[in-house]
Chain A
Amino acid sequence: MGQVLVLGLISGGIYALFALGVVMVYRGTGVLTFAQGEIGTAALFLAAFLVTDKGLPWFVGAAAALAFAVVIGCLFEFVVVRRMVGSDPVSVAVATVGLGLFLLAIEFRIFGDSPKALEGPFSGGVTIAGVFVTPTQIAALVVALALGFGLQAVLRRTDFGLGILAAAQDPAATRLVGVPLSKITLTVWGAGAALSAVAALLVEPTVGVFQPGYASELFVVGLAAAVIGGLTSLPGAVYGGILVGVAESAATRYLGDYNISGLRYLVVLVILLIALLGRQFWPQISALLRAADAGSKPTTTTPAGASA
């Protein structure tokens, strides 16, 4: 049980970091982004080039990777999103699909599909509930929690943060009251990309190698986690990520004997459907629960209570 929880928290922290990027962009622009995973992978390639090939310290490579991700995010906003003002958010979402494929294709073109190595910044680790936990894994969870609640506070308490929240709901009105809209969307796309790079950098040392498309496969889980968490709440993204992580590790623990491949994605699909449809049908479900509750009470004797 403890083992399931620890393993779940480790992967949950990573999913939460990806989910935070998704929620950040969604709250600021109303767009769901599908490109963030590949932005993370692209950042990893730069870090690996600087650290593994050029021998620079990990933190230098990581900082450069972070900056690179921000540049990609901002460039995308500047070159593509800005020209799509007034179009349907789904159209912009499809454009992010294009960005993801674009980065993936460039990575394949330059590096091929052989794995690339990048050593993590720390060695050693501690054993918790029988699980060996590395410092980057702990860092991932801590950073996810800190960002989830910290960014929420920034959004709620600062003028700029409130501007971000307003921008997605009504861009025209937001502009009219003097909020610099273009600065806000640029910031949001940059911040979303940065969060993906953080997630990719913190998950990569667990295995130590990666290839094109690496972070996208984890990002998809983060995307689902963001939706499960409500898509508009940063703490919700963290909870969603941890929920999926723990569910995945529980499934692996108890269904591992059946050797089901891709168990992670089955778990994600099931939770996603439960969360989305459950929310849709919640009024009916709660009515049923209330009816069942009322029916089970000894004082209500009429069966008509169950259909109310």
Chain B
Amino acid sequence: MTATTLAPRPVQTEQPDEVPTRRRRLPVPGVLIALVLAVVLPLLGGSTGALSDKNALLLSIACTYAMAGISLNVLMGYAGQISLGQFAFVGAGAFTVGIVTSVDQLRLPWIVGVVLAAAAGALLAFLVGLPALRLRGLYLAVVTVSVAYAAWQSLFRIEVIGGGSAGKVIPKPYIGNSAITSDSGILVLAFLALILVWQVDVNLTRSRLGRAFQAVKADEAVAASFGIDVARYKLLAFSISGAMAGIGGAIYATALGTVTGGAFDYARSLLLVVIVIIGGLGSRWGVVTASFFAVLLPDILIALFGTGFRGIDLILNAGLLMYTIARHPGGFAGAIEESREKRARRKGGEPPLPPTRPSLPALTRPRGMPPVPQLRSGVPVLQASGVSVRFGGLQAVDNAGLRVDRGTIVGLMGPNGAGKTTLFNAITGALSPDSGRIELLGVDVSALPTHRRTALGMSRTFQLIGLAKGQSVYENLLIAQHLAAPYGVASALTGLGPSRSYERDVRRRADEVLAGLGFGRYRDTMVGRLSHGQQRIVEIGCALVTSPELVMLDEPSAGMSPAAAEDLAATLRDMRDVLGRTVLLIEHNVPLVLDVSDELYVMDAGRVIANGEPVEVVTRPEVVTAYLGAAPSHEGASA
């Protein structure tokens, strides 16, 4: 159910620094830093400058590790996919730039080589990502280890790729007509590349892409229920990560001038894991800081304590990894975040509790989503028929069916294990039934995956809260609007084009829902810190935010106080009467179901045993028997 999460206490990846109505900031600091570096660094370098060639080279290497660190962070920190072979992608980039700039028939410009290096890294990572569609966690880790070894010991030792034992010589880069020969010149290129990768990463985290990754990391079933195509986003995470690592590899090769296959060994991939964990999973600046720390540490130690400290750096780093993951799973960035929060709590105290009876904001269907299909009269919103699901020897759902008409609340009751949630999952596509037909809004969706059904106009909640609990309330409301901002990958990564206006829309809508729910002060609170009842309200807000026609709620009152459950009844009626939604409701709370439902279905042992007018249905003998057992007959009761 849950995807790989490394940190039990996930860290917020981004400071909620933006007021959503404000236009997105341009990457001014990045551009400024780049310009200053471009002017200052060459002046420092050379024989007279303060920046020696050796230090310039070292800083260039640090930049490449930072890029590789950011790339691994995309996989492990955002998307929750473990990779112990990230240096294979770095190597793919390094040798690609080597081949295309040096082979006689090609001799492409250096900058083209960097682009192709990104492509090569992305391709290799995409291939590694394919098994990740089916494998989770530890199995995936073993595959990446094998890939790392195969690339290091085999692929990069092929004469044409790795240049054999002599290694691959990378010609000095040309920008226009001038060759960049000095180490400080290459350092400028390295910084520029790092700033580029950094900015792409910033754009990524602010886009639907980054949010989709986080949802996949939190829970794949929940992600799919928000309309996220889990397989596609896993492969995207690998590809983007591979491209970033490939750029890092191109700079690495350029800075060194000559690279051999042996330079991309398994231990370096592990060092990247050290960097990402120490820096803090999910934290961009934490990872970049840790990269510079790891690369510069050997020389710093030797400069401070003498050559006797050669080799101590890796011992320190490895020790730090064990300490960090055991004691501060959020890493360096997480530790700082924690202490800041502690201070803020001491100063401000807890914000007041939000109301348990939210007023639901009336929203129209977002412009990014196709309109809900018009229904011909007599066609129900949902029609499930002949659904059967078997788990091994257990017939969980047995030829069950139900019908939900527009603008009604339909209740689904039944004792534990009756198959209610299984039927729910068959309707949403979370599992594929052995037989049966599901029609949503007049469309046969039996063969469609969950995210396509969601796109048609369906949303759901989960028995155990379907939210990304490590993200803020606001972030969750953005994740839930995945389909409402259908801009492409290029727009997401550059921060240009349609993503800007779509992002404004979804952010405005999230704020409207927050205000409606009365959760304004909890906007940036991590969902996992809210009470169960509050989480449930946020979840309902997420289910309504894209104005779906059909809202499916799985035991919304579970864990609520009686008073809160009464408020919930009012909320459900508002959904139907004020918002005009159609609701399918699994509920154990009998008074609540009888109170709100227009029609009631009762399941037992996988079959629908009764349906009709709620108050009448619950008095039927078969329903009473299902709940209370057969009434003992007076004669043979003791048998």
Residues of A within 8 A of B (CB): 32, 34, 79-80, 83-84, 86-91, 93-95, 97-102, 104-106, 108-109, 213, 216-217, 220, 223-224, 227, 260-266, 268-269, 272-273, 276-277, 280-281
Distance in angstroms from A144 CB to nearest chain B CB is 20
Q: In the assembled complex, which residues on chain A have CB atoms less than 8 Å from the CB atom of B154?
A: 260-263, 265-266
| B624 interfacial contact with A, CB 8 Å | no
B317 touches A91 (CB 8 A): no
Q: In the assembled complex, which residues on chain B have CB atoms less than 8 Å from the CB atom of A102?
A: 315, 318-319, 322
B326 touches A273 (CB 8 A): no
Asked if A97 meets B4 with Cβ closer than 8 Å, knowing A84-B326, A87-B329, A227-B139, the reply is no
Q: Which of B251-303 contact A (CB under 8 A)?
A: 266-267, 270-271, 273-274, 277
Among B142, B147, B273, the one with the most A-chain Cβ atoms within 10 Å of its Cβ is: B142
Report Cα–Cα, A32/B145, bound state, in Å: 12
Distance in angstroms from B264 CB to nearest chain A CB is 12
Report Cα–Cα, A91/B310, bound state, in Å: 29
B270 partner, pick from A101, A108, A277, beta carbons under 8 A: A101
Distance in angstroms from B43 CB to nearest chain A CB is 38
B322 touches A272 (CB 8 A): no
Distance in angstroms from B435 CB to nearest chain A CB is 13
B130-138, B200-208, B399-407 - interface stretch: B130-138
A262 touches B153 (CB 8 A): yes
Report Cα–Cα, A104/B266, bound state, in Å: 12
Given contacts A220-B266, A261-B158, 7 further A-B contacts (CB under 8 A): A32-B142, A80-B322, A95-B321, A227-B139, A227-B142, A265-B153, A266-B154
A213 touches B131 (CB 8 A): no
Q: List 27 A-B contacts (CB under 8 A).
A: A79-B322, A86-B8, A88-B5, A90-B5, A90-B141, A91-B6, A94-B277, A94-B321, A95-B322, A95-B326, A97-B270, A98-B274, A98-B319, A98-B322, A100-B270, A100-B318, A102-B315, A109-B310, A261-B158, A262-B149, A265-B149, A265-B150, A268-B150, A269-B146, A273-B131, A277-B135, A280-B135
Report Cα–Cα, A86/B7, bound state, in Å: 11
A88 touches B267 (CB 8 A): no
| B186 interfacial contact with A, CB 8 Å | no
Q: In the assembled complex, which residues on chain B have CB atoms less than 8 Å from the CB atom of A95?
A: 321-322, 325-326
| B569 interfacial contact with A, CB 8 Å | no
Report Cα–Cα, A281/B134, bound state, in Å: 9
A88 touches B271 (CB 8 A): no
A34 touches B326 (CB 8 A): no
| B82 interfacial contact with A, CB 8 Å | yes
Distance in angstroms from A97 CB to nearest chain B CB is 5
A101 touches B138 (CB 8 A): no
Q: In the assembled complex, which residues on chain B have CB atoms less than 8 Å from the CB atom of A34?
A: 84, 141, 145
A269 touches B321 (CB 8 A): no
A109 partner, pick from B142, B153, B315, B321, beta carbons under 8 A: B315
A269 touches B150 (CB 8 A): yes
Q: How many residues of B contact A (CB 8 A)?
A: 48
A98 touches B318 (CB 8 A): yes
| B25 interfacial contact with A, CB 8 Å | no
B321 touches A98 (CB 8 A): yes
B329 touches A91 (CB 8 A): yes
Distance in angstroms from B136 CB to nearest chain A CB is 9
Q: In the assembled complex, which residues on chain A have CB atoms less than 8 Å from the CB atom of B155?
A: 262
Q: In the assembled complex, which residues on chain B have CB atoms less than 8 Å from the CB atom of A97?
A: 84, 270, 273-274, 321
Distance in angstroms from B130 CB to nearest chain A CB is 9
Report Cα–Cα, A260/B154, bound state, in Å: 7
Asked if A32 meets B138 with Cβ closer than 8 Å, knowing A84-B325, A269-B146, A276-B131, the reply is yes
B134 touches A101 (CB 8 A): no
| B591 interfacial contact with A, CB 8 Å | no
Report Cα–Cα, A276/B94, bound state, in Å: 30
| Closest A residue, CB atoms, query B310 | A109
B4 touches A90 (CB 8 A): yes
Distance in angstroms from B298 CB to nearest chain A CB is 11
| B431 interfacial contact with A, CB 8 Å | no
A90 touches B315 (CB 8 A): no
Q: Mark B42-74, 1 if CB is under 8 A from A, else 0.
A: 000000000000000000000000000000000
A272 touches B146 (CB 8 A): yes
| B312 interfacial contact with A, CB 8 Å | yes
A220 touches B145 (CB 8 A): yes
10 tightest A-B CB contacts, nearest first: A262-B153, A262-B154, A98-B321, A105-B314, A102-B318, A101-B318, A109-B311, A98-B322, A261-B157, A265-B149
Report Cα–Cα, A223/B150, bound state, in Å: 14
Q: In the assembled complex, which residues on chain A have CB atoms less than 8 Å from the CB atom of B314?
A: 101, 104-105, 108
Q: In the assembled complex, which residues on chain A have CB atoms less than 8 Å from the CB atom of B319?
A: 98, 102
Q: In the assembled complex, which residues on chain A have CB atoms less than 8 Å from the CB atom of B146?
A: 220, 224, 265, 268-269, 272
Asked if A90 meets B137 with Cβ closer than 8 Å, knowing A223-B142, A262-B153, the reply is yes
Report Cα–Cα, A6/B52, bound state, in Å: 57
Q: In the assembled complex, which residues on chain A have CB atoms less than 8 Å from the CB atom of B158?
A: 261
A262 partner, pick from B131, B152, B277, B327, beta carbons under 8 A: B152
Report Cα–Cα, A213/B265, bound state, in Å: 11
Q: In the assembled complex, which residues on chain B have CB atoms less than 8 Å from the CB atom of A216?
A: 266
Distance in angstroms from A287 CB to nearest chain B CB is 13
Q: In the assembled complex, which residues on chain B have CB atoms less than 8 Å from the CB atom of A101?
A: 267, 270-271, 274, 314, 317-318, 321
| B143 interfacial contact with A, CB 8 Å | yes
B267 touches A213 (CB 8 A): yes
Q: In the assembled complex, which residues on chain B have CB atoms less than 8 Å from the CB atom of A261?
A: 153-154, 157-158
Q: In the assembled complex, which residues on chain B have CB atoms less than 8 Å from the CB atom of A220?
A: 145-146, 149, 266
Distance in angstroms from A257 CB to nearest chain B CB is 16
Report Cα–Cα, A80/B312, bound state, in Å: 21
Q: In the assembled complex, which residues on chain A have CB atoms less than 8 Å from the CB atom of B273?
A: 94, 97
Q: In the assembled complex, which residues on chain B have CB atoms less than 8 Å from the CB atom of A105?
A: 311, 314-315, 317-318
B321 touches A90 (CB 8 A): no
B138 partner, pick from A90, A99, A280, beta carbons under 8 A: A90
Distance in angstroms from B322 CB to nearest chain A CB is 4
Report Cα–Cα, A227/B274, bound state, in Å: 24
A93 partner, pick from B8, B131, B138, B150, beta carbons under 8 A: B138
| Closest A residue, CB atoms, query B277 | A94
A94 touches B6 (CB 8 A): yes
Q: In the assembled complex, which residues on chain B have CB atoms less than 8 Å from the CB atom of A87?
A: 8, 329
Q: In the assembled complex, which residues on chain A have CB atoms less than 8 Å from the CB atom of B149?
A: 217, 220, 262, 265, 268-269
A91 touches B321 (CB 8 A): no
Asked if A104 meets B267 with Cβ closer than 8 Å, knowing A90-B4, A220-B146, A223-B142, the reply is yes
Q: In the assembled complex, which residues on chain B have CB atoms less than 8 Å from the CB atom of A217?
A: 149
Report Cα–Cα, A227/B139, bound state, in Å: 8
Q: In the assembled complex, which residues on chain B have CB atoms less than 8 Å from the CB atom of A276?
A: 131, 134-135, 139, 143
Q: Which of B145-202 contact A (CB under 8 A)?
A: 145-147, 149-150, 152-155, 157-158
| Closest A residue, CB atoms, query B142 | A227
Report Cα–Cα, A194/B226, bound state, in Å: 48
Q: Which of B328-344 contact A (CB under 8 A)?
A: 329
Report Cα–Cα, A189/B6, bound state, in Å: 21
Report Cα–Cα, A109/B325, bound state, in Å: 24
Report Cα–Cα, A34/B82, bound state, in Å: 13
Q: In the assembled complex, which residues on chain A have CB atoms less than 8 Å from the CB atom of B134?
A: 276-277, 280-281
Report Cα–Cα, A268/B327, bound state, in Å: 35
Report Cα–Cα, A98/B322, bound state, in Å: 6
Q: In the assembled complex, which residues on chain B have CB atoms less than 8 Å from the CB atom of A266?
A: 150, 154
A83 touches B326 (CB 8 A): yes
Report Cα–Cα, A213/B325, bound state, in Å: 23
Q: In the assembled complex, which residues on chain B have CB atoms less than 8 Å from the CB atom of A98?
A: 274, 318-319, 321-322, 325
A272 touches B142 (CB 8 A): yes
